[in-house]
Structure 1
């Protein structure tokens, strides 16, 4: 649950603002002459979340959809819409700075739903994996294969 609380932090709330998302793009492999520049990625709601194996991994701070394997001609907004059509951030009709407090709170509520769903699904996956392993141990024990 600690990971989940990180997603509710002020640090993550700062990601509503373009400038803060843009700052995450240090070492991004695509620059000028590409559709997926750091500027376009940040405008589409993505933050750069590289790993050792995938230096081009980006995640929407809002819906938590992660995408990798970017090509220079990929349009971040179109990719975001096609992979996460339910994302409320990409569907915004005005900038965050122009939202009323009520609109922002509704948006934040939707973001929390994505966070809760992601972490619940991860917990369910871990539980299912652990139960498969335990079941295997029980079957081996019952058959005297220890």
Structure 2
């Protein structure tokens, strides 16, 4: 019959083992392997511990990847919000440009008032609407 090693004989100090590992070892040490009459061996137990450590490392790696992906998602959301703000500003600028262009494109604004006295709306404006629009654009740059 095979003799089982103690914690000390295996070179595993109690301080190295967590309470959960100690309890697991005690349970596994009493466990009988289903295919044979002997108890689980120290090698089997060490293999289980190695598998546990590998699983813990895989979990830690997965959690790190998850944190990285969350960070990328947050960056993407911030970039999307910034792009949406820029789009809204561009749409406002385009609307303002259209308004000024329509003013100058409107034939009625070029016509002189009745009886040929005074100035047309475009002449009275003297390009101030266009200058304001250009100033708005240079202030944003």
Superposition TM-score tier, normalisation by shorter sequence: 0.3 to 0.5
Larger Rg: 2
Calculate the TM-score normalised by the size of structure 1. 0.37
Higher helix share: 2
Greater relative CO (CA pairs within 8 A, separation 6+): 1
Higher strand share: 1
Calculate the TM-score normalised by the size of structure 2. 0.39
